[in-house]
């Protein structure tokens, strides 16, 4: 592992300093009990953008964030911030700040005291502390709350103070670990929109951990999906949703239905289609087992045409989603979901179809064809 001299000083952002990128190269983290949290992770987080780390519990996303922060030491590999290797640099000298799920505010300090505390610990002169706290409080619209203690603040106000305490340090990189997950649904949406507007204004490089797919899609400039300590796919949110690289990403992001079938002589043999569906010759699918993915919103009522995928379902559950319903239907032993503008009763027979253009094909290794 390449090391960096401990004499490296923390860098601080200014209004004119350009944002820095974050690079993780062949990063691995194995805990003493043998648990492999990260397994050869390499990812580039673009300067000035939001990189969202998404995946199921235990996939390694928080461990990756903590390795960047310097709160965990990688077993191997390197972390670079702004092109400098910080793998052996103390957390306080990396130019990063972290916002956690819980607000972690000092209950005996006012909002102003909480904001000023990291600056006081860093030895920043009082007049500069005062001006920086005032600027951040105005930015986050909490300047009228500075004399209140955390117990006198709402959940959203406390989270703003938590974010402000990170921003007041003027870090190069902002690290956020599920910062809004403890808030109620309406406030979470509001805070997400406020944070996105703030990040666009500041242009600060941000790594953001979440398990919320909607949050990930709405915030990410780059979306990174992890599974069992490895990266399944890293690309823009729009590209990942449009062209998931693996069947795991397809099912995890947006709940794609996955149907198992076979490909023989240019035709897909799937449940309900013993004679097979014609496969466009431009799609390179090897002969043999294949997985066909179709999103719930791409299934439409009715039998469609001869080239469409047609599924005959027995409705077992419906979820009201405002003007739409998420219909859960049984197809043999498989549960299939369809998002429809229709009133469907449990037990009702339902025929849905999807056009060939809306199908996603994956080989037996789970990789996109």
Instruction: Clarify whether residues 155 and 216 are in a common domain.
Output: yes
Same domain, 214 and 256: no
pLDDT reported for residue 219: 96
> pTM, whole model, 2 decimals?
0.87
Q: Are residues 92 and 228 in the same domain?
A: yes
Phi-psi region of 366 (alpha: psi -120 to 50; beta: other; left: phi over 0): left
CA distances from 128 to 9, 124, 133, 271 (A): 19, 7, 8, 69
Three-state DSSP class for 66?
Answer: helix
31 assigned to some structural domain: yes
Tens digit of each residue's pLDDT, the chain (369 residues): 333 333 333 334 445 578 999 999 999 999 999 999 999 999 999 999 999 999 999 999 999 999 999 999 999 999 999 999 999 999 989 999 999 887 789 999 999 999 999 999 989 999 999 999 999 999 888 999 999 999 999 988 998 899 999 999 889 999 999 998 888 888 889 889 989 998 999 899 999 999 999 999 999 999 999 999 999 999 999 999 999 999 999 999 989 999 998 888 778 888 777 777 777 666 667 778 889 999 999 999 999 887 888 999 999 999 998 889 999 999 988 899 999 988 888 989 999 999 988 999 898 889 987
232, 255: one domain:
no
- Encode burial over 301-340: b for 16+ CB neighbours within 10 A, e otherwise: eeebeeebbbbebebeebeeeeeebbbbbebeeeebbbbb
Q: Can you give the pLDDT at residue 227?
A: 96
Name the DSSP class of 368: B
Give the residue among 295, 288, 311 at the shortest CA–CA distance from 363: 288
Question: Which one of 217, 242, 267 terminates a domain?
Answer: 242
Residues 108 and 235 in one domain: yes
In a domain, 122, yes or no: yes
CA distance from start to end of the chain: 37
Domain membership of residue 338 as a residue range: 247-362
Residue 283 confidence (pLDDT): 63
Instruction: Say what the pLDDT of residue 4 is.
Output: 34
Contact predicate 61/54, CB 8 Å: yes
Last residue of a domain, one of 215, 242, 269: 242
On whether residue 352 sits in a domain, the answer given is yes
Tell me, yes or no, whether 289 and 171 share the same domain: no
The domain total for the chain is: 2
Last residue of a domain, one of 242, 258, 288: 242
Give the DSSP letter of residue 93.
G
């Amino acid at each position: 592992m390449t090391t960096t001299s401990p004499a490296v000083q923390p860098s601080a952002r200014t209004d004119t300093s350009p944002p820095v990128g974050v690079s993780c190269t062949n990063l691995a983290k194995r805990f003493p009990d043998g648990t492999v949290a990260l397994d050869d992770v390499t990812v580039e987080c673009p300067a000035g953008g939001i990189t969202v780390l998404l995946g199921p519990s235990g996939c390694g996303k928080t461990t990756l964030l903590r390795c960047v922060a310097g709160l965990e030491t990688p077993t191997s590999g390197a972390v670079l911030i702004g092109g400098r290797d910080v793998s052996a640099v103390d957390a306080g000298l990396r130019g990063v700040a972290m916002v956690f799920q819980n607000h972690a505010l000092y209950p005996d300090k006012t909002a102003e005291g909480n904001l000023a505390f990291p600056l006081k610990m860093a030895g920043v002169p009082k007049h500069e502390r005062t001006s920086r706290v005032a600027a951040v409080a105005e930015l986050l619209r909490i300047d009228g709350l500075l004399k209140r203690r955390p117990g006198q603040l709402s959940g959203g106000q406390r989270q703003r103070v938590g974010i402000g305490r990170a921003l007041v340090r003027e870090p190069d990189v902002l690290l956020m670990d599920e910062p809004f997950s403890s808030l109620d649904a309406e406030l979470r949406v509001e805070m997400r929109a406020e944070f996105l507007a703030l990040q666009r204004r500041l242009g600060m490089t941000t790594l953001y951990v979440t398990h919320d797919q909607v949050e990930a899609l709405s915030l990410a400039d780059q979306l990174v999906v992890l599974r069992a300590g490895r990266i399944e796919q890293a690309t823009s949110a729009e590209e990942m949703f449009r062209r998931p690289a693996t069947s795991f990403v397809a099912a995890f992001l947006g709940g794609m239905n996955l149907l198992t079938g076979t490909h023989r002589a240019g035709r897909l043999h799937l449940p309900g289609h013993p004679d097979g569906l014609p496969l466009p010759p431009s799609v390179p699918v090897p002969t043999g087992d294949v997985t066909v993915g179709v999103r719930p919103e791409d299934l439409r009522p009715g039998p469609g045409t001869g080239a469409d995928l047609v599924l005959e379902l027995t409705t077992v559950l419906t979820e009201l989603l405002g003007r739409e319903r998420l219909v859960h239907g049984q197809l043999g032993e498989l549960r299939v979901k369809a998002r429809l503008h229709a009133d469907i009763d449990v037990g009702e027979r339902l025929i849905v179809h999807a056009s060939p253009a809306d199908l996603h094909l994956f080989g037996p290794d789970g990789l996109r064809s």
